[in-house]
Amino acid sequence: MRKTDKKKLELWQGRLETNKTAYTAERDKMDAREKLYNGDSTIKPIASEDVHDKAPHLRNVVSELIEAQVSSTIPQPKVTAQRKEDEELAKLIEDMLRVELDRINIEEINDLMERTVPIQGGGAYLVEWDSTKRTHTTAGEIAISTIHPTQIVPQNGVYTGIEDMDYIILKIPQTKEFIKRRYGVDVSDEEEKEPNARGSGESTAEDMVTQYVAYYRNDKGGIGLYSWVNDTPIEDLEDYQARRLRRCAKCGALEPAPGEVVATEPTMDGTPEDVKNGQAGGFDTPPDGRDIGKPNGRAVCPFCGGTKWEETEEDFEELLTPVKLSNGQVIPDKETIVEMDGTVTEKRTRIPYYKPGIYPVILQRNISVFGKFLGGSDVDTIATQQNTTNRLVTKILDKLCTAGSYFSLPVRADVRRDAGEMKTILLNSPAEKAMIDVYTIEGDISQDLAMLAETYEEMRQAIGVTDSFQGRRDTTATSGTAKQFAAAQTAGRLESKHIMKNAAYQRLFEAIFKFKLAYADEPRPIPSVDERGERVYEEFNRYDFLKRDAAGEWYWNDQFIFSVDDAASSLAANRQAMWEETRLNFQSGAFGPPDEIDTLIFFWAKLKLLHYPGAAETLTMLQEKKEEQVAAAQAQQEQEAQIVALKARMDAERAGADAAVNAPELKDRAEVAGM
C-alpha cells in the first residue's frame, strides 16, 4: 500500500471510530427496540418487593400497535414542469417512475420500511446504478435497497439531514466472493468485524465481511466514495458520480464494450481487415469466457494494437453518430466552429455528462424531533407501558395459579383411598364430623385487569391508534358519519408520519430521475395508459432533456418539481370505493345515457383505469360490438345508396326509352307546325 493510500485509509477509519463512539448511546437503543418489538419478556422492578425478572406470559402490545399502523399504500409520483414547454416531459417522467416502482418490486421494500421506521424512528433507501444488469439493447438499471439504522454511521453533530453532512458511512454485510467478483480484491483472509450489521445478536459468519462505504462531498461539491474492509481498501473514487471510461494507455481510444468483437491487428479505423474483405474470422475473443471490458479481460486496441488500458474520468461525451430525439429533431454529431481569427473548423459535438450531485442515501423519518438524526421512535414512547403490562400480567397469573380449594379434617381422622367411588373417613367421635369442611381461596384480579386496560389505552393514545383505526368495534361512534369522523381524527394524529413517508418518496423519485438522466444512455420503453384506458408505449430518452443556451452551450434540463400524488395513492388504497363511485356516476347519467353503447364504453374504460376485474375484456367486447354496429350501419347505407342509384338509373333508362318512342310523333308535329 502506498503511503498516501495508507493515510487515507487511516483517515476514514478514524472518522468511523469517532462517529461510532458518539453514536453508541443511540445504537444501544436500537437493539432494545428490536427486542421489544420481537417480544421482550424482561421485567424491570416496579416495587421493592418484586421478585420476577421475566414474564412467563407475554402480551406484546408494542408489536400490536406497530402492526396496526402498517400501510401497503405506495405513494405515486407527481412531477410538475417549471416551464410550459416541458409539460410532456413531466408526464413522461411520471410514467417512467411508475414503471420503475413496478420493476424494483417496491412492495417488499415498503413492507420492511413500514416496520423499521416506527420501531427505530427512521430508515433509509440506497439508490445505485447497477451496470451489471444488461439486456440485448440496454446497459444498467436502477437498484434500490433498504438500509437499517444500525448500518448507518452519521456525521456527529449534523441532525438536519443527510444532504447537510460532509460525509456519511454505511456498514454493508457482503460475502467475500462478492467483494472479489465486483472489485477484484481478495478478502478471503479477512474476518467479519461487525456481524450485528446483519441483525441484532448475529454471530460472525465465515464467508461474510463488513464493507464500510463512505459517501462524502468532494472539493467541487460533487459526491466522492471511499470503501474498505478492515485494513484493506476496496474502492477510492474522488468523483463517485462521474462517468468513467477505459481508454488505451497508448493512443487514448475507448476500450471495446463487453462482448464487442475487436480486430486482432490494428487497422487505424477500428474495423477488422477480415470484415473489410468479407470474411468472418480475425477477431480476438476473451479467454475463459470473460468479458472484454472487465479489468482482467484482454482486448487489443483496434487503433494502435495496445493491450494496456486505464480508467479515466470523462466530463464530456463526443457524439459519434447523430442523436434522434423523440420529437423528431436531431442533434448533429458534428458542429461548425468559427474561431476568433475567422477560421472555420468542424468538430465533434461535445455534450457534458450529467451528474446527480446528491447523496444516494435517502432518509425516511417516523416523526421529526429536534436534535435527532432519526425521528421519534414509537417503541420509545410506549416502552415503560410495555414493562407495566408485563408486570401486571405476571401478577394476575400469580394470583390465578396460587388460588385453589382447601379442606379441613380432625387431626386423627383416617381417610381411606381406594378405587371405589365412595371414600371413607374414620372419625373418633361425632364431634369431629363438624370439623370437616372445604375452603375455596380466590385472588381478586379486578383491580389488576382495570389497570391493565388503562395501561393499554394509555399506549394507544400515546401512538394515536383508536378502535376505528384498528378495525375493532367502536361503541362511541354510533352512525356512519361518526365513524368516518373518528377515523379522520385518527388519520389526523398520524398525518405527520404520512407526510414524512411522502417526503422520503419525493426525494426517492428525484434521485431515480437524476440517475436515469446520468447513466441511461439508451432509450428505455415506458408503457403507460392513456385517458381512454388504452395501453400506449413511449420512450424515456435522456437526450430529450438536453438543451442549448443562447451562447451555444449544451446543458441538461432537470428543472422539475417532484412530489407525491395523494389522490392516486388513495385511489390505489381504496379502489373498491372508487368502483362504487364510478358505478353511481354511470347510473346517474354523468357519462351519458346509460343505454347507449358509447356511454357503456366510456364507463368500462374508466373501470379499466381503476383496475376493475374483467373490465378490459368487457371493454374489448363492447368495442367489437360497436365496430359491428358501425359496419352494419355502413353496409346499410351502402345498400340504400345502391338502391337509390339503381332507381335513378332505371328512371333514366325509362325516360330514354320513352323519348325514343315519342321521337317520330314529335318530328311529325314539328313538320306540321313548320308548314
For 112-141, the pLDDT digits (tens) are 999 999 999 999 999 999 988 888 888 889
pLDDT on residue 295: 39
CA atoms of 606 and 533, how far apart (whole Å)? 7
Longest pairwise C-alpha distance within the chain: 175
Split at pLDDT 50, 70, 90, the class of 48 is low
The tens digit of pLDDT for each residue in 582-607 reads 888 888 888 888 888 888 888 888 78
Say yes or no to pLDDT of 220 above 80. yes
* Stretch 3-16: mean pLDDT: 89
Query: Is residue 512 over pLDDT 90?
Result: yes
Residues with Cβ within 8 Å of residue 189, at least 6 apart in sequence: none
User: Do the Cβ atoms of 456 and 61 come closer than 8 Å?
Assistant: yes
pLDDT digits over 77-124, tens only? Answer: 999 999 999 999 999 999 999 999 989 889 999 999 999 999 999 999
Q: Residue 291 pLDDT > 50, yes or no? A: no
pLDDT of residue 425: 82
Higher pLDDT, 244 or 532: 244
Please choose, from the candidates 333, 359, 293, the residue with its C-alpha nearest in 3D space to the C-alpha of residue 152: 359
Per-range mean pLDDT, top range of 500-514, 544-558, 586-600, 627-641 = 500-514
Q: Are strands 334-338 and 309-314 parallel, antiparallel or unpaired?
A: unpaired
Q: Which residues contact 591 (CB under 8 A, 6 or more apart)?
A: 585, 599, 602, 603, 606
In this prediction, residue 283 carries a pLDDT of 34
Left (φ > 0), alpha (ψ -120 to 50) or beta: where does 308 sit? beta
Q: What Å distances lie between residue 203 and 33, 176, 191, 286, CA to CA?
A: 19, 16, 12, 41
What pLDDT shows up at residue 493? 62
User: What is the pLDDT, as a whole number, of residue 146?
Assistant: 94
Q: In this structure, what are the phi and psi dihedrals at residue 259, rounded to the nearest 5 degrees?
A: 85, -10
pLDDT tops 90 at residue 363: yes
Q: How many CB atoms lie within 10 A of CB 591?
A: 19
Most confident stretch, 239-243, 291-295, 304-308, 431-435: 239-243
Residue 534 has pLDDT above 70, yes or no: no
**Residue pLDDT, tens place only, 371-416:** 899 999 999 999 999 999 999 998 888 888 887 778 788 887 777 7
Residues 332 and 322: their CA atoms lie apart, in Å, by 5
CA dist., res. 65 & res. 382, Å (int): 10
Q: What is the pLDDT of residue 334?
A: 86
Question: How far apart are the C-alpha atoms of 235 and 407, rounded to whole Å?
Answer: 80
pLDDT-derived band at 286 (thresholds 50, 70, 90) equals: very low
Least confident of 141-145, 285-289, 603-607: 285-289
Give 524-555 as a 3 state SS string: EEEEEECCCCCEEEEEECHHHHEEECCCCCEE
Task: Average the pLDDT over 470-489 and give the result.
Answer: 53
Query: What's the DSSP call for residue 417?
Result: -
Residues 337-353 have a mean pLDDT of 81
What pLDDT sits at residue 298? 54
What's the pLDDT at 646? 85
pLDDT above 50 (res 282): no
Rounded Cα gap, residues 100 and 538, in angstroms: 14
pLDDT of residue 437: 85
* β-strand partners of 169: 153, 214
Mean pLDDT value of segment 508-523:
94
In this prediction, residue 248 carries a pLDDT of: 84
CB 143 within 8 A of CB 130: yes
Average pLDDT taken over every residue of the chain: 82
Please give the pLDDT value at position 365: 94
Query: What pLDDT, on the 0 to 100 scale, is given for residue 662?
Result: 67
| pLDDT over 90 (residue 440) | no
Question: What are the distances in angstroms from CA 390 to CA 45, 143, 152?
Answer: 11, 43, 32
Least confident of 121-125, 211-215, 335-339, 499-503: 335-339
Question: Does an H or E element contain 350, and which?
Answer: strand 350-352
Better-scored residue on pLDDT, 635 or 486: 635
- 263-272, 426-435, 648-657 — which is least confidently predicted? 263-272
Residue 443 has pLDDT above 60, yes or no: yes
Of the listed ranges 437-441, 489-493, 550-554, 592-596, the least confidently predicted one is 489-493
Calculate mean pLDDT across residues 645-661.
78
Predicted pLDDT at 258: 53
Supply the pLDDT for residue 490.
52
**What's residue 287's pLDDT?**
33
